[in-house]
Amino acid sequence: MKELHSEIANRYSLGEQVRNHILKKIATGELSPGDRIVEARISNELKVSSIPVREAIRELVAIQVLEYIVHKGARVREVSMSETVDALHVKAVLEALAVRLADKKLKRRIPELQMYLKLILESALRHDYTEYQKQNQLFHRTIVEASGNQILIRLWDSLAFMVRTRSIMDYLHIVDAYEVAKEHENILHAAESEHTEELASLLMSHANRLVEHLENQMAVYKKDVTDS
């Protein structure tokens, strides 16, 4: 009986590891909306059988991170602009909570944040918005990781794919992407100075600027539909 319990616990543990692995790949931009999840590749990356991979995929389909297409398998779900706006609101709150939980621990992650900031600024100057989004996600995830709260990290990861969308790519083409990128300098300075509440506020306002743009875009679209 003990062996059976151990086997079940290990299986669920593996399933959770696979789920977190897939979520992290989505959060860091290795997997984008529309990308197919290849079971064999995930199994090989983690050196596990197909059973926990399938369990993880089923769970991610159930919470609508992935979608299952008959005869094609699972893929990262495409999201609407309104879902992106909702996700940005929640993601910003999670990041503000993360810095409060992290407190002094965030100081140890400063070198990583400095590296990602450099890459964000460089990609903005090159107008490489795919790379910009990837490095931006890594910057923000580093802040969230510093919280040490695994539930919070998992929630953030489950939302990350919703903010790597065509709507946000369009936003980066419309605005001065370098100026948007430079907002991360203020975020980094607040982290370096250990000004927790200022940092939380900056993260919220950083997200809110994007939310405001997307909401304006949705309003224009609705007006066009109404007038046509």
| Domain 81-227, CATH | 1.20.120.530
DSSP string, 110-161: HHHHHHHHHHHHHHHHTT-HHHHHHHHHHHHHHHHHTT--HHHHHHHHHHHG
Task: Tell me the two tokens of residue 46.
Answer: 């983690």
Map out the domains of the chain as residue ranges: 2-76, 81-227
CA atoms within 13 A on the CB side of 160: 31
Q: Is 85:218 a contact under the CB 8 Å cutoff? A: yes
Q: What percent of the chain has pLDDT over 90?
A: 50
Tell me phi and psi for residue 74, to 5 degrees: -90, 145
AA identity, residue 13: S
Residues 209, 214, 216: CA angle, nearest 5 degrees: 95
User: pLDDT band at 8, cuts 50/70/90?
Assistant: very low
Q: What is the pLDDT of residues 77-130, one digit of tens each?
A: 888 888 888 999 999 999 999 999 998 899 999 999 999 999 999 999 999 988
Question: What is the end-to-end Cα distance of the chain in Å, rounded?
Answer: 68
| CATH architecture label of 2-76 | Orthogonal Bundle (1.10)
Q: Is 39:76 a contact under the CB 8 Å cutoff? A: no
